[in-house]
Each structure stands twice: as structure tokens, then as C-alpha cells.
Amino acid sequence: MIINWTTEQILTLAPDASSAKSGKDLATLRKWQELGTNEEAIWGKYQGSGSQPYQTQIDLLETAFKCNCPSHKFPCKHGLGLFLLRLNQPDAFTQNQPPDWVHDWIDSRRQKQAKKGESSKVTDLAAQAKRAAKREEKVTAGVQELDLWLRDLVRQGLAVLPGQDYTFWDTKAARMVDAQAPGLARQLQEMSGIPHSGAGWQERFLERLGRLYLLLEGFQRLETLPSATQADIRTAIGWTQKEEFTPSSKVRDRWRILGQRVEQQDQLRTQRTWLQGQQTQKSALVLNYAYGNQPLDNSLIPGTVIDAELGFFESAYPLRSLIEARHAPPLPLLEMPGAEAIATALAQYTKAIACQPWLDQFPLTLQTVIPQRYKNGWALRDSTNHLLPLTPSFAKGWQLLALSGGHPINVFGEWHGDRFLPLSTLAENKFLAF
């Protein structure tokens, strides 16, 4: 299935520009030996400066790499070079039976995948219950404290907020961290910048304030709510959901990988990958985190389609999911179906937010829209001449316009409630990720 990849897609796997350049330089037969491939893997040996060649291998099913070279980069230049070589010179890969060092690695990966979710650790249920009760007590106290603080803020009036510095918000956010409610702390930090965001900030602030207040009220009435809503409230406050999925929460489909976004806060990087089922048309969000120099997951490549089973976390509007199993190597994405009218797309968002009011981002795919200048930024115009403003931070408006040539294109991105952030486009059967 390597023939379905492109050079550009392979190079997006590189950890940095120098690795991409070195990978292209190594995509020649000069120092490669024992090249082989089958439906699951690619392998080969590269004769470097040492006495023994480096053993390089790629798991095609999950787009994973392994090499015994001393590099700390992932994937290393040898993995990239091998991948590019297989793409450009497939006839050089004559072996189809993997050697033991490849077979053992692939076999161990499949066994780990089969055992995923199983745990041999004996849990002290009594201690676990005690810790859970203690956290519940801390969060409850934090919620009550924040509720009083918000009431005082409203009584004083919003007009004083532009004069407050960030310590006004950071102090209360730190208290929420102490109360083991990191989700509340994050929301306060995000709200702190709204009074300084220009005209109309009052409406934007009230919208966020209302959602936060609804969250606090929901938590204080948690036991009266459906289990799915309880899960949403706990997640928004900062609880981590267990990676345990019932059969009904698992969905197998051919999933289009439509876009990916990485955000960084301090030393923590958050990677959001958006998928859409070809048969079910169901949207899915896969979240990955990396701290410091830890690598992010690079197995989900925007612009490809994977045959996989996803497990969805409990929610009144399930989006977040995990890859439970993959059944075939990725294929190229050839279509990006979506709403032809902006109003139709926003109606989908309205339905979602009615079920789950604390969605921070929502996936939207727009068909046959035309990029155009709008005020001091950009917007997308549909066939009914409705406009959807793009987020001011989107810096590739001219590139999007050039790709369209002034004609309708398909665009995928995240809707943040009042602005749209493009993540990818499909124009003249060419996929481009931003």
C-alpha cells in the first residue's frame, strides 16, 4: 500500500527540516542492503560508518518506525530514507518474507495491540475509593468557591474587567488547580484575555461566563443528570475518563483523517486529530499529549484514510475517541464531503452544543465555498452568499485563495463558536493541510 503515499506525506513525518533533508539524501540504493516488504512492513539494512549496518523497519499498519542507529530523533533519517526509497524504487525490494528481527518486532506490536486495555496490576479498591472521595471533596469545595467568586464578579459589573491584570485571574486559576479541577483553571485562563480582545468582548465574555456557570450548576446537581451528561461535566472539570469501551461504543469504519492541530501551553503539547467515517459519517477526535521533548503520535496522517475500529468515550455528544484496532494500511483521501451551505453546517453545531454545551471545538466540513477578503481578515462564502469569518490568527488566507483560483473548494476546520479555523482543503483532488 506504499504506492498510495506521496513524498510530501512521508516528509510530514520528519521531526524537523534537517531530518527531512537527510531522509531524502538517503533514499538511494547506494548503501542499502536486504531490502524487502510485504503487506505489513518494510525493512532494510543501511551501511553507515560503523562495522555493522543499521536495521531499519517500518510498520505499515500503524506507520511506526524502528531503527537501531544511535539517533534520538523519531523517525530517524534512515526510516524516512527507507520509506522514500520504497516509494520511488519499489522494484528494489525483492524480499517478501521478513527476517527474524522484523518478524519479532511486528509480532510484539500486534501482541501489545491485542492486550491493549488489559491490566495485570492488582488495584487496591479500598485505597482507590478513598482517593476518589478525597478528590470529590476537594473539587466540590473548589466549585463552591468559584461559584461565589463569579457571583461577586457579576455584582461588581463587567466594566471593571479591562482594568484587571492577569494576576486577578491567575490567582483564582491556581486555586482551582489546588482543588484538583484543572479544567476550571483552564477556562479561567482562557476567559482572562476576552476583556482585552476588542469590540464586542462583553458578548463573548458573557457567553463563556454562562457556560462556566452552567458547568458549576451541573456539578452541584450531578446525581440528578443522565450518566452521559455526568461524564461530560466531569471531563470539563478535569477528570480523566477511563479507557474502557463497551461494544456499543466501538465503531469500525474507513475513517478519513481530515485535519490535525497542535497547541502548546508551557511544556505541554496537545495534538487534536479529526476523523470522519465514510459509511457512518460520524466525526471523531483523537487527542494526544506530549510533555517537553516527548514525541507526539505521528501515525495519523491528514489526507489519508484508515480502516480502523474506534472506541468512543461516554458523552451526550460523543466525539473523543481512541484507535482500538487497525485493519489495513492507510489509503489516500480522495473526497471531503460536507455541508454545501454554511447554515447547514452551523445547524450541526447547534445540535451538538444543545447536547454538550462545553465543546471547545467542533469539526466542520464545508463544500463549494470560496475564500474572500472580509473586513481586515478572511471569510468563506457559500453559494447562497452567506459568509463564515475565519479566525484572525489564520495566516494562510492568500494561499487558500490561490488554491481556489476564485472557484469553489472544500475546506475542513474547527468551529470555535464565533470563528472558523481552516485545517485542510481539497482542491482539484489535491489535499493540503495547513
Amino acid at position 49, single letter: S
Q: Are residues 213 and 176 in the same domain?
A: yes
Question: Of 291, 311, 332, at which residue does a domain stop?
Answer: 332
Q: What CATH number is given to the structural domain containing 351? A: 2.40.50
**Residue 25 confidence (pLDDT):** 93
The verdict on 98 and 27 lying in the same domain is yes
Please identify, among 58, 92, 114, the residue that sits at the C-terminal boundary of a domain.
114
Whole-prediction pTM value?
Answer: 0.78
Q: Is residue 122 part of a domain?
A: no
pLDDT of residue 95: 81
The segments of the chain whose pLDDT lies below 70 read 1-4, 116-123
Same-domain check for residues 99 and 200? no
Write phi, then psi, for 43 (nearest 5 degrees): -150, 165
Instruction: Give the domain-ending residue among 68, 93, 114.
Output: 114
Are the C-beta atoms of residues 350 and 283 closer than 8 Å to each other? no
Residue 302 lies in a domain: yes
Q: Do 132 and 229 fall within a single domain?
A: yes
pLDDT, position 116 = 61
Both 219 and 141 in a single domain?
yes
Long-range pairs, 354-359, Cβ under 8 A, ≥24: 355/316, 355/317, 356/232, 356/315, 356/316, 356/317, 357/211, 357/214, 357/215, 358/211, 358/215, 358/232, 358/233, 358/236, 359/317, 359/319
Domain residue limits at 289:
247-332
